Structure 1
Amino acid sequence: MSEAEELVLVERAEGVVTVTLNRPKRKNAITRGLVEQLIAALEEIARTPEDRALVLTGSGGAFCSGMDLASPLEPDVLTFMQRIGYLCGLLHDLPRPTIAKVAGPAMGFGCNLAFCCDLVVAGEGAVFGEIFAQRGIALDGGASWSLPRLIGLQKAKELVFFGEQVTAPEAERIGLVNRVVPDSALDEAVAEWAQRLADGPTLALSMMKASLNSSFETDFRRALEGEALNQSVAFRTAEAKEAGKAFMERREPRFR
Protein backbone atom coordinates (compact mmCIF):
# COMPACT_ATOMS: atom_id res chain seq x y z
CA MET A 1 0.00 0.00 0.00
CA SER A 2 1.41 3.39 -0.96
CA GLU A 3 1.86 6.33 1.35
CA ALA A 4 -1.01 8.15 -0.36
CA GLU A 5 -3.36 5.26 0.40
CA GLU A 6 -2.51 5.45 4.10
CA LEU A 7 -3.16 9.13 4.76
CA VAL A 8 -6.61 8.36 6.17
CA LEU A 9 -7.43 5.14 7.99
CA VAL A 10 -11.02 3.91 8.36
CA GLU A 11 -12.06 1.26 10.87
CA ARG A 12 -15.56 -0.05 11.57
CA ALA A 13 -16.93 -1.89 14.60
CA GLU A 14 -20.48 -2.23 15.95
CA GLY A 15 -21.83 0.73 14.00
CA VAL A 16 -18.99 3.07 15.00
CA VAL A 17 -16.68 4.20 12.19
CA THR A 18 -13.33 5.63 13.29
CA VAL A 19 -11.51 7.88 10.82
CA THR A 20 -7.86 8.53 11.65
CA LEU A 21 -5.61 11.16 10.09
CA ASN A 22 -2.40 9.27 9.41
CA ARG A 23 0.64 11.49 8.91
CA PRO A 24 2.21 10.98 12.33
CA LYS A 25 5.67 12.24 11.31
CA ARG A 26 4.07 15.61 10.48
CA LYS A 27 1.60 15.52 13.39
CA ASN A 28 -1.13 14.84 10.84
CA ALA A 29 -0.69 18.15 9.05
CA ILE A 30 -3.11 18.65 6.17
CA THR A 31 -2.11 18.19 2.52
CA ARG A 32 -4.19 18.02 -0.66
CA GLY A 33 -3.90 14.24 -0.66
CA LEU A 34 -5.14 13.95 2.90
CA VAL A 35 -8.01 16.33 2.19
CA GLU A 36 -9.16 14.30 -0.81
CA GLN A 37 -8.96 11.02 1.09
CA LEU A 38 -10.87 12.47 4.03
CA ILE A 39 -13.55 13.80 1.69
CA ALA A 40 -13.88 10.36 0.08
CA ALA A 41 -14.17 8.69 3.50
CA LEU A 42 -16.89 11.08 4.68
CA GLU A 43 -18.85 10.74 1.43
CA GLU A 44 -18.78 6.95 1.82
CA ILE A 45 -19.91 7.16 5.45
CA ALA A 46 -22.81 9.43 4.49
CA ARG A 47 -24.17 6.79 2.11
CA THR A 48 -23.52 3.79 4.40
CA PRO A 49 -26.45 3.17 6.76
CA GLU A 50 -24.41 0.74 8.85
CA ASP A 51 -22.12 3.62 9.89
CA ARG A 52 -24.19 5.01 12.76
CA ALA A 53 -21.62 7.21 14.57
CA LEU A 54 -18.27 8.72 13.59
CA VAL A 55 -15.11 9.26 15.61
CA LEU A 56 -12.48 11.53 14.05
CA THR A 57 -8.97 11.37 15.48
CA GLY A 58 -5.27 11.52 14.63
CA SER A 59 -2.40 9.06 14.84
CA GLY A 60 0.90 9.27 16.68
CA GLY A 61 -0.26 11.22 19.73
CA ALA A 62 -1.49 14.28 17.84
CA PHE A 63 -4.87 15.30 16.47
CA CYS A 64 -3.82 17.66 13.67
CA SER A 65 -1.16 20.38 13.55
CA GLY A 66 -2.99 22.33 10.84
CA MET A 67 -1.97 22.97 7.26
CA ASP A 68 1.34 21.54 6.12
CA LEU A 69 2.86 24.83 4.96
CA ALA A 70 5.84 22.94 3.59
CA SER A 71 3.50 21.35 1.03
CA PRO A 72 2.14 23.38 -1.92
CA LEU A 73 -1.52 24.36 -1.82
CA GLU A 74 -2.42 22.72 -5.13
CA PRO A 75 -3.56 23.59 -7.73
CA ASP A 76 -3.87 27.11 -6.27
CA VAL A 77 -4.78 28.63 -2.92
CA LEU A 78 -8.41 29.42 -3.74
CA THR A 79 -9.19 25.98 -5.17
CA PHE A 80 -7.44 24.28 -2.26
CA MET A 81 -9.37 26.32 0.29
CA GLN A 82 -12.64 25.61 -1.49
CA ARG A 83 -11.95 21.89 -1.12
CA ILE A 84 -11.18 22.54 2.55
CA GLY A 85 -14.55 24.25 2.81
CA TYR A 86 -16.29 21.33 1.13
CA LEU A 87 -14.60 18.94 3.57
CA CYS A 88 -15.68 20.97 6.61
CA GLY A 89 -19.23 21.20 5.28
CA LEU A 90 -19.38 17.44 4.81
CA LEU A 91 -18.27 16.83 8.37
CA HIS A 92 -20.50 19.49 9.89
CA ASP A 93 -23.61 18.33 8.00
CA LEU A 94 -22.96 14.57 8.13
CA PRO A 95 -26.30 12.92 9.00
CA ARG A 96 -24.64 10.98 11.81
CA PRO A 97 -23.48 12.08 15.27
CA THR A 98 -19.74 12.83 15.24
CA ILE A 99 -17.08 13.00 17.95
CA ALA A 100 -13.62 14.53 17.68
CA LYS A 101 -11.19 12.56 19.85
CA VAL A 102 -8.35 14.99 20.52
CA ALA A 103 -4.98 13.98 21.92
CA GLY A 104 -1.94 16.23 21.74
CA PRO A 105 -1.89 19.33 19.53
CA ALA A 106 -4.90 20.58 17.56
CA MET A 107 -3.54 23.67 15.85
CA GLY A 108 -4.91 26.10 13.28
CA PHE A 109 -7.07 24.22 10.81
CA GLY A 110 -6.67 21.11 12.97
CA CYS A 111 -8.26 22.95 15.87
CA ASN A 112 -11.21 24.03 13.77
CA LEU A 113 -11.60 20.63 12.13
CA ALA A 114 -12.36 19.26 15.59
CA PHE A 115 -15.02 21.96 16.06
CA CYS A 116 -16.76 20.78 12.86
CA CYS A 117 -17.74 17.69 14.85
CA ASP A 118 -20.83 17.59 17.05
CA LEU A 119 -18.89 16.72 20.19
CA VAL A 120 -15.25 17.18 21.22
CA VAL A 121 -13.62 14.95 23.84
CA ALA A 122 -10.02 15.75 24.73
CA GLY A 123 -7.26 14.17 26.72
CA GLU A 124 -5.92 16.38 29.49
CA GLY A 125 -2.68 16.81 27.54
CA ALA A 126 -4.39 18.19 24.45
CA VAL A 127 -3.70 21.76 23.32
CA PHE A 128 -5.89 23.92 21.07
CA GLY A 129 -4.43 26.81 19.11
CA GLU A 130 -6.04 29.41 16.85
CA ILE A 131 -2.55 30.32 15.63
CA PHE A 132 -3.47 32.04 12.36
CA ALA A 133 -2.38 35.52 13.47
CA GLN A 134 1.07 34.16 14.27
CA ARG A 135 1.33 32.96 10.67
CA GLY A 136 -0.07 36.15 9.18
CA ILE A 137 -3.02 34.33 7.61
CA ALA A 138 -6.79 34.45 7.99
CA LEU A 139 -9.18 31.98 9.63
CA ASP A 140 -10.27 28.74 7.99
CA GLY A 141 -11.97 25.49 8.90
CA GLY A 142 -15.24 27.27 9.71
CA ALA A 143 -13.79 29.07 12.74
CA SER A 144 -15.51 32.36 11.92
CA TRP A 145 -18.83 30.50 12.28
CA SER A 146 -18.11 27.97 15.03
CA LEU A 147 -16.07 29.97 17.55
CA PRO A 148 -18.64 32.73 18.23
CA ARG A 149 -21.31 30.07 18.69
CA LEU A 150 -19.17 28.01 21.05
CA ILE A 151 -17.71 30.73 23.26
CA GLY A 152 -19.25 34.06 22.24
CA LEU A 153 -18.01 36.80 19.93
CA GLN A 154 -15.73 38.65 22.36
CA LYS A 155 -13.91 35.52 23.56
CA ALA A 156 -13.59 34.31 19.97
CA LYS A 157 -11.91 37.59 19.00
CA GLU A 158 -9.53 37.27 21.92
CA LEU A 159 -8.49 33.77 20.88
CA VAL A 160 -7.91 34.61 17.21
CA PHE A 161 -6.38 38.08 17.64
CA PHE A 162 -3.74 36.91 20.10
CA GLY A 163 -3.36 33.40 18.69
CA GLU A 164 -2.63 31.91 22.09
CA GLN A 165 -2.72 28.20 22.77
CA VAL A 166 -5.37 26.87 25.13
CA THR A 167 -4.90 23.81 27.33
CA ALA A 168 -7.59 21.15 27.42
CA PRO A 169 -8.85 22.09 30.93
CA GLU A 170 -9.13 25.75 29.89
CA ALA A 171 -10.85 24.75 26.65
CA GLU A 172 -13.43 22.84 28.68
CA ARG A 173 -13.89 25.76 31.08
CA ILE A 174 -14.70 28.26 28.31
CA GLY A 175 -16.89 25.85 26.35
CA LEU A 176 -14.66 24.87 23.43
CA VAL A 177 -14.86 21.16 24.25
CA ASN A 178 -17.49 18.95 25.84
CA ARG A 179 -15.32 16.84 28.07
CA VAL A 180 -11.72 16.44 29.22
CA VAL A 181 -10.47 13.13 30.60
CA PRO A 182 -7.05 11.77 31.59
CA ASP A 183 -5.03 10.87 28.51
CA SER A 184 -5.06 7.22 29.59
CA ALA A 185 -8.88 7.24 29.67
CA LEU A 186 -9.47 9.02 26.35
CA ASP A 187 -10.01 5.92 24.21
CA GLU A 188 -12.44 4.40 26.70
CA ALA A 189 -14.43 7.61 27.20
CA VAL A 190 -14.86 8.22 23.47
CA ALA A 191 -15.68 4.58 22.78
CA GLU A 192 -18.43 4.68 25.41
CA TRP A 193 -20.03 7.82 23.96
CA ALA A 194 -19.66 6.60 20.37
CA GLN A 195 -21.29 3.26 21.14
CA ARG A 196 -24.19 4.95 22.88
CA LEU A 197 -24.71 7.13 19.82
CA ALA A 198 -24.39 4.18 17.44
CA ASP A 199 -27.00 2.29 19.47
CA GLY A 200 -29.33 5.29 19.44
CA PRO A 201 -32.12 6.33 17.05
CA THR A 202 -30.14 7.32 13.96
CA LEU A 203 -32.93 9.12 12.11
CA ALA A 204 -34.07 11.06 15.16
CA LEU A 205 -30.49 12.05 15.99
CA SER A 206 -29.90 13.25 12.43
CA MET A 207 -33.02 15.44 12.56
CA MET A 208 -32.00 16.84 15.94
CA LYS A 209 -28.53 17.61 14.59
CA ALA A 210 -29.86 19.41 11.51
CA SER A 211 -32.30 21.54 13.49
CA LEU A 212 -29.71 22.51 16.11
CA ASN A 213 -27.12 23.33 13.43
CA SER A 214 -29.53 25.80 11.83
CA SER A 215 -30.88 27.26 15.07
CA PHE A 216 -28.92 30.52 14.86
CA GLU A 217 -30.12 31.14 11.29
CA THR A 218 -33.86 30.88 11.98
CA ASP A 219 -36.44 32.53 14.19
CA PHE A 220 -38.50 30.87 16.91
CA ARG A 221 -41.63 30.39 14.80
CA ARG A 222 -39.74 28.71 11.97
CA ALA A 223 -37.99 26.51 14.51
CA LEU A 224 -41.37 25.39 15.79
CA GLU A 225 -42.56 24.68 12.24
CA GLY A 226 -39.44 22.62 11.58
CA GLU A 227 -39.96 20.67 14.78
CA ALA A 228 -43.55 19.92 13.78
CA LEU A 229 -42.41 18.58 10.42
CA ASN A 230 -39.67 16.49 12.02
CA GLN A 231 -42.07 15.01 14.55
CA SER A 232 -44.60 14.19 11.83
CA VAL A 233 -41.89 12.02 10.29
CA ALA A 234 -40.38 10.70 13.52
CA PHE A 235 -43.62 9.44 15.04
CA ARG A 236 -44.12 7.12 12.05
CA THR A 237 -40.65 5.56 12.10
CA ALA A 238 -39.66 2.11 13.28
CA GLU A 239 -37.44 3.86 15.85
CA ALA A 240 -40.39 5.53 17.55
CA LYS A 241 -42.46 2.35 17.46
CA GLU A 242 -39.62 0.39 19.04
CA ALA A 243 -39.15 3.04 21.73
CA GLY A 244 -42.84 2.95 22.56
CA LYS A 245 -42.86 -0.84 22.72
CA ALA A 246 -39.74 -0.86 24.90
CA PHE A 247 -41.35 1.64 27.28
CA MET A 248 -44.41 -0.52 27.68
CA GLU A 249 -42.26 -3.62 28.21
CA ARG A 250 -39.97 -1.76 30.64
CA ARG A 251 -36.76 -2.47 28.76
CA GLU A 252 -34.12 -0.54 26.83
CA PRO A 253 -35.06 0.13 23.18
CA ARG A 254 -33.17 -1.67 20.45
CA PHE A 255 -32.90 0.80 17.58
CA ARG A 256 -30.71 -1.21 15.23
Structure 2
Amino acid sequence: MTILQSVSSPIEMSVEDGIATLTLNRPEARNAFSDQMRSLLIERLEEIAADSSIRALIITGAGKGFCAGGDIKGMEKRMSAPAGEVAFNGWTRQQRVHHAVSLLINLPKPTIAAVNGAATGLGCDLALSCDFVVSSEQASFAMSYIARGLIPDGGGLYVLPRRVGLTRAKELIFTGRTVQPEEGLAIGMVDRVVAHEDLLSEASQWARELSAGSSTALGLSKSILNNSFELTQAQVLAMGSQAQGICYTSSEHQASVAAFLAAKAKRG
Protein backbone atom coordinates (compact mmCIF):
# COMPACT_ATOMS: atom_id res chain seq x y z
CA MET A 1 0.00 0.00 0.00
CA THR A 2 1.28 3.46 -0.90
CA ILE A 3 0.68 6.11 1.77
CA LEU A 4 0.33 9.53 0.19
CA GLN A 5 -0.50 11.49 3.34
CA SER A 6 1.39 11.56 6.62
CA VAL A 7 -0.20 9.95 9.67
CA SER A 8 -0.61 13.38 11.23
CA SER A 9 -2.94 14.58 8.48
CA PRO A 10 -6.64 14.94 9.39
CA ILE A 11 -7.37 13.11 6.12
CA GLU A 12 -5.01 10.29 5.24
CA MET A 13 -4.82 8.96 1.70
CA SER A 14 -3.49 5.61 0.55
CA VAL A 15 -3.64 3.75 -2.75
CA GLU A 16 -3.42 0.00 -3.28
CA ASP A 17 -4.13 -1.89 -6.51
CA GLY A 18 -5.79 1.16 -8.03
CA ILE A 19 -8.15 1.65 -5.05
CA ALA A 20 -7.75 4.93 -3.15
CA THR A 21 -8.75 5.08 0.52
CA LEU A 22 -9.40 8.35 2.30
CA THR A 23 -9.40 7.99 6.08
CA LEU A 24 -10.91 10.76 8.18
CA ASN A 25 -8.28 11.06 10.88
CA ARG A 26 -9.45 13.04 13.91
CA PRO A 27 -10.39 10.09 16.12
CA GLU A 28 -10.22 12.20 19.28
CA ALA A 29 -13.12 14.26 17.85
CA ARG A 30 -14.90 11.30 16.23
CA ASN A 31 -13.63 12.70 12.91
CA ALA A 32 -15.79 15.81 13.10
CA PHE A 33 -15.19 18.00 10.06
CA SER A 34 -13.01 21.08 10.48
CA ASP A 35 -12.36 23.80 7.90
CA GLN A 36 -8.98 22.22 7.23
CA MET A 37 -10.62 18.87 6.51
CA ARG A 38 -13.00 20.47 4.01
CA SER A 39 -10.07 21.94 2.11
CA LEU A 40 -8.12 18.68 2.24
CA LEU A 41 -11.12 16.68 1.05
CA ILE A 42 -11.47 18.96 -1.98
CA GLU A 43 -7.76 18.59 -2.77
CA ARG A 44 -7.80 14.81 -2.44
CA LEU A 45 -10.97 14.36 -4.52
CA GLU A 46 -9.57 16.55 -7.29
CA GLU A 47 -6.36 14.53 -7.20
CA ILE A 48 -8.22 11.21 -7.37
CA ALA A 49 -10.44 12.41 -10.23
CA ALA A 50 -7.41 13.41 -12.28
CA ASP A 51 -5.37 10.24 -11.65
CA SER A 52 -6.24 7.61 -14.25
CA SER A 53 -4.40 4.92 -12.28
CA ILE A 54 -6.98 5.23 -9.48
CA ARG A 55 -10.09 3.30 -10.40
CA ALA A 56 -12.25 3.58 -7.26
CA LEU A 57 -12.48 5.36 -3.91
CA ILE A 58 -13.24 4.20 -0.37
CA ILE A 59 -13.93 6.67 2.46
CA THR A 60 -13.71 5.50 6.07
CA GLY A 61 -12.95 6.85 9.53
CA ALA A 62 -10.16 6.32 12.07
CA GLY A 63 -11.02 5.17 15.56
CA LYS A 64 -14.53 4.44 16.80
CA GLY A 65 -16.48 6.89 14.67
CA PHE A 66 -16.96 7.45 10.94
CA CYS A 67 -17.73 11.18 11.22
CA ALA A 68 -19.56 13.08 13.96
CA GLY A 69 -20.56 15.89 11.60
CA GLY A 70 -19.43 19.50 11.77
CA ASP A 71 -16.81 20.53 14.32
CA ILE A 72 -18.34 22.20 17.40
CA LYS A 73 -15.38 24.58 17.62
CA GLY A 74 -16.23 25.79 14.14
CA MET A 75 -19.82 26.36 15.23
CA GLU A 76 -18.63 28.38 18.24
CA LYS A 77 -16.40 30.48 16.01
CA ARG A 78 -19.26 31.12 13.61
CA MET A 79 -21.61 32.23 16.37
CA SER A 80 -19.03 34.55 17.93
CA ALA A 81 -18.54 36.51 14.69
CA PRO A 82 -20.03 40.03 14.47
CA ALA A 83 -23.73 39.90 13.65
CA GLY A 84 -23.19 41.58 10.31
CA GLU A 85 -20.74 38.88 9.22
CA VAL A 86 -22.47 35.69 10.36
CA ALA A 87 -24.58 35.16 7.25
CA PHE A 88 -21.85 35.81 4.70
CA ASN A 89 -19.28 33.76 6.64
CA GLY A 90 -21.77 30.91 6.77
CA TRP A 91 -22.50 31.21 3.08
CA THR A 92 -18.77 31.09 2.30
CA ARG A 93 -18.31 27.94 4.37
CA GLN A 94 -21.31 26.37 2.67
CA GLN A 95 -19.75 26.91 -0.73
CA ARG A 96 -16.72 24.87 0.38
CA VAL A 97 -18.95 22.11 1.73
CA HIS A 98 -21.02 21.97 -1.42
CA HIS A 99 -17.95 21.97 -3.64
CA ALA A 100 -16.58 18.97 -1.75
CA VAL A 101 -19.91 17.11 -1.87
CA SER A 102 -20.33 17.81 -5.59
CA LEU A 103 -16.84 16.48 -6.29
CA LEU A 104 -17.68 13.31 -4.38
CA ILE A 105 -21.09 12.73 -5.93
CA ASN A 106 -19.79 13.38 -9.44
CA LEU A 107 -16.43 11.62 -9.15
CA PRO A 108 -16.24 9.61 -12.40
CA LYS A 109 -15.29 6.45 -10.52
CA PRO A 110 -17.11 4.10 -8.14
CA THR A 111 -17.15 5.37 -4.54
CA ILE A 112 -17.84 3.40 -1.37
CA ALA A 113 -18.37 4.65 2.17
CA ALA A 114 -16.96 2.05 4.59
CA VAL A 115 -18.81 3.22 7.70
CA ASN A 116 -16.95 1.99 10.76
CA GLY A 117 -18.91 3.82 13.47
CA ALA A 118 -21.38 6.62 14.02
CA ALA A 119 -22.12 8.72 10.92
CA THR A 120 -24.09 11.74 12.09
CA GLY A 121 -25.03 15.04 10.48
CA LEU A 122 -22.44 15.88 7.85
CA GLY A 123 -20.94 12.42 8.38
CA CYS A 124 -24.22 10.82 7.33
CA ASP A 125 -24.40 13.14 4.31
CA LEU A 126 -20.84 12.21 3.37
CA ALA A 127 -21.55 8.49 3.51
CA LEU A 128 -24.76 8.78 1.47
CA SER A 129 -23.01 10.92 -1.15
CA CYS A 130 -20.95 7.87 -2.10
CA ASP A 131 -22.33 5.48 -4.70
CA PHE A 132 -22.48 2.63 -2.18
CA VAL A 133 -22.52 2.30 1.61
CA VAL A 134 -20.94 -0.68 3.40
CA SER A 135 -21.74 -0.60 7.10
CA SER A 136 -19.96 -2.23 10.00
CA GLU A 137 -22.26 -3.94 12.48
CA GLN A 138 -21.01 -1.30 14.95
CA ALA A 139 -22.03 1.67 12.77
CA SER A 140 -25.06 3.93 13.04
CA PHE A 141 -26.57 6.73 10.98
CA ALA A 142 -28.43 9.91 11.97
CA MET A 143 -29.52 13.06 10.18
CA SER A 144 -29.00 14.87 13.47
CA TYR A 145 -29.11 18.44 12.16
CA ILE A 146 -32.53 19.13 13.68
CA ALA A 147 -31.02 18.82 17.16
CA ARG A 148 -28.91 21.89 16.39
CA GLY A 149 -31.72 23.81 14.71
CA LEU A 150 -30.22 23.21 11.27
CA ILE A 151 -31.08 21.54 7.98
CA PRO A 152 -28.93 18.92 6.23
CA ASP A 153 -26.32 20.97 4.36
CA GLY A 154 -23.93 18.33 3.06
CA GLY A 155 -26.03 16.83 0.28
CA GLY A 156 -28.52 14.93 2.43
CA LEU A 157 -31.53 16.80 1.09
CA TYR A 158 -30.56 15.51 -2.36
CA VAL A 159 -29.18 12.01 -1.76
CA LEU A 160 -31.35 10.73 1.11
CA PRO A 161 -34.74 10.81 -0.68
CA ARG A 162 -33.13 9.13 -3.68
CA ARG A 163 -32.13 6.27 -1.43
CA VAL A 164 -35.10 5.86 0.90
CA GLY A 165 -37.95 7.76 -0.75
CA LEU A 166 -39.36 11.19 0.04
CA THR A 167 -41.64 10.32 2.97
CA ARG A 168 -39.04 8.29 4.85
CA ALA A 169 -36.40 10.95 4.17
CA LYS A 170 -38.70 13.54 5.75
CA GLU A 171 -39.18 11.35 8.82
CA LEU A 172 -35.45 10.80 9.30
CA ILE A 173 -34.64 14.49 8.82
CA PHE A 174 -37.54 15.81 10.92
CA THR A 175 -36.73 13.51 13.88
CA GLY A 176 -32.96 13.20 13.52
CA ARG A 177 -33.29 9.71 14.99
CA THR A 178 -30.56 7.09 14.86
CA VAL A 179 -30.74 4.29 12.29
CA GLN A 180 -28.97 1.02 13.08
CA PRO A 181 -27.29 -0.99 10.27
CA GLU A 182 -30.03 -3.60 9.80
CA GLU A 183 -32.75 -0.97 9.50
CA GLY A 184 -30.50 0.99 7.16
CA LEU A 185 -30.18 -2.10 4.98
CA ALA A 186 -33.94 -2.71 5.00
CA ILE A 187 -34.82 0.86 3.92
CA GLY A 188 -32.06 1.26 1.34
CA MET A 189 -29.87 3.64 3.33
CA VAL A 190 -27.16 0.97 3.49
CA ASP A 191 -26.18 -1.51 0.78
CA ARG A 192 -24.24 -4.11 2.79
CA VAL A 193 -23.71 -4.86 6.48
CA VAL A 194 -20.53 -6.74 7.40
CA ALA A 195 -18.61 -7.79 10.49
CA HIS A 196 -16.63 -4.88 11.90
CA GLU A 197 -13.28 -6.60 11.43
CA ASP A 198 -14.08 -7.34 7.77
CA LEU A 199 -15.21 -3.82 6.84
CA LEU A 200 -12.22 -2.58 4.84
CA SER A 201 -11.47 -5.92 3.20
CA GLU A 202 -15.09 -6.26 2.08
CA ALA A 203 -15.17 -2.67 0.82
CA SER A 204 -11.88 -3.15 -1.04
CA GLN A 205 -13.07 -6.36 -2.69
CA TRP A 206 -16.31 -4.70 -3.80
CA ALA A 207 -14.41 -1.67 -5.08
CA ARG A 208 -12.26 -3.95 -7.24
CA GLU A 209 -15.35 -5.67 -8.63
CA LEU A 210 -17.13 -2.38 -9.34
CA SER A 211 -14.11 -0.84 -11.08
CA ALA A 212 -12.97 -3.83 -13.14
CA GLY A 213 -14.71 -2.66 -16.32
CA SER A 214 -13.94 0.17 -18.72
CA SER A 215 -13.20 3.36 -16.80
CA THR A 216 -14.60 5.34 -19.73
CA ALA A 217 -17.90 3.47 -19.71
CA LEU A 218 -18.10 3.62 -15.90
CA GLY A 219 -17.55 7.36 -15.73
CA LEU A 220 -20.01 8.15 -18.52
CA SER A 221 -22.69 5.81 -17.12
CA LYS A 222 -22.38 7.37 -13.67
CA SER A 223 -22.66 10.90 -15.04
CA ILE A 224 -25.98 10.05 -16.70
CA LEU A 225 -27.39 7.91 -13.89
CA ASN A 226 -26.73 10.66 -11.33
CA ASN A 227 -29.07 12.97 -13.25
CA SER A 228 -31.59 10.47 -14.59
CA PHE A 229 -34.34 11.36 -12.08
CA GLU A 230 -34.31 14.96 -13.28
CA LEU A 231 -34.20 14.14 -17.01
CA THR A 232 -36.84 13.05 -19.48
CA GLN A 233 -36.59 9.72 -21.28
CA ALA A 234 -35.59 11.54 -24.46
CA GLN A 235 -32.82 13.41 -22.65
CA VAL A 236 -31.41 10.24 -21.12
CA LEU A 237 -31.43 8.52 -24.51
CA ALA A 238 -29.74 11.52 -26.15
CA MET A 239 -27.05 11.68 -23.48
CA GLY A 240 -26.61 7.92 -23.82
CA SER A 241 -26.08 8.25 -27.56
CA GLN A 242 -23.40 10.86 -27.06
CA ALA A 243 -21.70 8.81 -24.35
CA GLN A 244 -21.79 5.69 -26.51
CA GLY A 245 -20.11 7.60 -29.32
CA ILE A 246 -17.25 8.37 -26.94
CA CYS A 247 -17.12 4.71 -25.84
CA TYR A 248 -16.80 3.60 -29.47
CA THR A 249 -13.53 5.49 -29.71
CA SER A 250 -12.12 4.34 -26.35
CA SER A 251 -9.09 2.09 -26.16
CA GLU A 252 -10.98 -0.23 -23.76
CA HIS A 253 -13.77 -0.85 -26.30
CA GLN A 254 -11.38 -1.33 -29.21
CA ALA A 255 -9.19 -3.76 -27.24
CA SER A 256 -12.24 -5.71 -26.07
CA VAL A 257 -13.65 -6.09 -29.59
CA ALA A 258 -10.25 -7.06 -30.98
CA ALA A 259 -9.83 -9.72 -28.28
CA PHE A 260 -13.33 -11.07 -28.91
CA LEU A 261 -12.73 -11.33 -32.67
CA ALA A 262 -9.36 -12.97 -32.17
CA ALA A 263 -10.86 -15.55 -29.82
CA LYS A 264 -13.69 -16.21 -32.27
CA ALA A 265 -11.25 -16.68 -35.15
CA LYS A 266 -9.18 -19.08 -33.05
CA ARG A 267 -12.25 -21.20 -32.31
CA GLY A 268 -12.93 -21.28 -36.06
TM-score, with structure 1 as normaliser: 0.92
Counting only pairs closer than 5 Å after superposition, residues 1-256 of structure 1 correspond to structure 2 as 6-71=9-74, 72-73=77-78, 76-248=89-261
CA distance in 1, matches of 2:204, 2:7: 28
CA distance in 2, matches of 1:104, 1:4: 20
CA distance in 2, matches of 1:37, 1:248: 46
CA contact (8 A) 1:54 1:96 kept: yes
TM-score, with structure 2 as normaliser: 0.88
CA pair 219-22 structure 1, distance change in 2 beyond 3 A: same
Letter of the structure 2 residue corresponding to residue 102 of structure 1: V
Shift, 1:198, TM fit: 3.7
Q: How many residues align structurally? A: 250
Q: Deviations over 1:79-119 (max 9, x none)?
A: 11111011101111111111111011000010011111111
Q: Deviations over 1:42-84 (max 9, x none)?
A: 1111111111111111111321110011233599222111110
CA distance in 2, matches of 1:151, 1:36: 30
CA distance in 1, matches of 2:9, 2:226: 32
The share of aligned pairs that are identical, in percent, is 38
CA distance in 1, matches of 2:14, 2:210: 17
CA pair 224-79 structure 1, distance change in 2 beyond 3 A: same
CA distance in 1, matches of 2:97, 2:25: 17
CA contact (8 A) 2:125 2:152 kept: no
Structure 2 gap segments, 5+ residues each: 82-87, 264-268
Secondary structure of 1:76's aligned partner? helix
Q: Deviations over 1:132-180 (max 9, x none)?
A: 1111111111111111111111000100111100001110100011111
CA distance in 1, matches of 2:166, 2:253: 39
